[in-house]
Amino acid sequence: MIKLRGEETLAKINKLQNILFILTGVFCTLGALMFKVGGTQLAIVNLFIFAAIALQLVTPKIHFQKYKIPFIVLIISFSISTVVSNLTLGGSWAPESLRFTLKIALFLLPLVLLFSDEELKEKSKCFFYGLKISCYIQLFWELAQILLWNVFSISLNQVVFGDLLKITVTHQWTFISDGYFRPTGVSWEPANLSLALVVGFILTKNKILKVLFSLGVILSTSRTGIIIYLLAVGIYSVRYLYNFKKENRKIEIKFRKKEIIISAVAFIALVAAIVIFRDSIVNKFDMMLNSVARTFQKLNVVNSDDSSANMHMRYYLEIPALISKSTVVNFLFGYGTSCAGYPYTHFFGIYDYIPNWNPESDFITTLFGNGILGFGAYYYFMGMNLKLNKDNFKGILLIIVLLFAGIFYLYIRSTWPLIILIMLYINKDSKDSKFELGD
């Protein structure tokens, strides 16, 4: 009887954990939803991760396998870099480094060590189910932002997060760049929105939603988003042509009744909207086209007059100089996890008015924040992840997208791309090897 009750309790815990992992997926891209802990703001997604880990501690057991070593080494290298920052840097650099490392160690390392492969597979499927929902939310929130701003001049994020929920951030809830409004989704940064939309494009099987996600990426006017979207489309195209040639198939285009009905309703709604708001739509559409056109012009960062693009270019151009100026310790272990902006400020005076910052690039941030050892550990972890997902096309595509996205923007601090990587970091050669994302 006692054993039976124990099994029932574990079954209930497992069911609750599955729900928590779904919620983790749903909330992981919604960075605008935060709460305060001792003066520090944390994304709500951290609550669900913490709760899932706490439930796992009911029956604590360390699941250590050889393939998990790269991630453990990564955490150790991040910790060593944090020690370096605490010994050598002043101001707010060291506390920021400690905060980021603790967040990864306390919230992400237990996901790898406390769950078995079979448990992680089950939780991963729940997570990606929730993540797909999160991407849908971002897509329709973006469309609502664009509609409300261009028709009624209402900032949806300012009204919801600034005025109603009173969530304070260092950025503005209304993102205006060069006089143009840019949607940010449930966050304050177009790059975060665009990555979520590309992830949604990869996860969904629905053709109409793929088209909407594609449109959403373009409307986000994010250079990084457009680049990684084109990369994903390119990989999809190569794979399709390869399979097409291999199987010697004929091109067939099929439409289901449901898709035809949805398309017809959407078309009628679009026509009605154009008739009702004709004059306003013409003016706003012209402004939107100009904004999108300027974004595509800025993809050529070499000849761009955009200050942000030029600064991104400078981060990379200064790499040889910074390496030559670094000590042996800094070259090996970096200046501190999440402290990659320090050498740029110290040697070149870049952003010397900001207490602590990082270049908007995962590549640069890991190279100078964690040194060549931490940099190598991070990208080795990515490489091992690719190997583990060799039979999982969507998993490989997600990893490649995150890999390239990190060249153009700083995503590693957002945590949710790291959660995706961990949810993919599973030994799929054990039982139940069938593993598909977004199902």
Q: Cα–Cα distance between 38 and 68 in angstroms, integer?
A: 33
β-partners of residue 177 are 180
Q: Cα–Cα distance between 97 and 85 in angstroms, integer?
A: 7
Half-sphere exposure of 113 (CA within 13 A, CB side): 16
- Residue 250 is predicted with a pLDDT of 56
Q: What is the pLDDT of residues 235-288, one digit of tens each?
A: 999 888 877 666 665 555 555 666 566 666 666 766 665 566 555 555 555 555
- 3-state secondary structure at position 349: coil
Cβ contact 300:47 at 8 Å: no
Phi and psi, residue 437, nearest 5°:
-90, 150
Quickly state the pLDDT bin for 1 (edges 50, 70, 90): very low
Half-sphere exposure of 87 (CA within 13 A, CB side): 11
Instruction: Provide the residue type at 92 as one letter.
Output: S
Domain ranges of the chain: 74-114+306-432, 119-299
Question: Which of 19-28, 147-156, 249-258 ranks highest by mean pLDDT?
Answer: 19-28
- Residue 269 is predicted with a pLDDT of 64
Q: What is the pLDDT of residues 166-212, one digit of tens each?
A: 888 778 899 988 788 899 999 999 999 999 999 999 999 998 999 99
- Residue 283 is predicted with a pLDDT of 55
Q: Cα–Cα distance between 188 and 372 in angstroms, integer?
A: 32
Mean pLDDT over the full length of the chain: 85
Quickly state the pLDDT bin for 298 (edges 50, 70, 90): low
Q: Cα–Cα distance between 336 and 367 in angstroms, integer?
A: 10
β-partners of residue 40 are 37
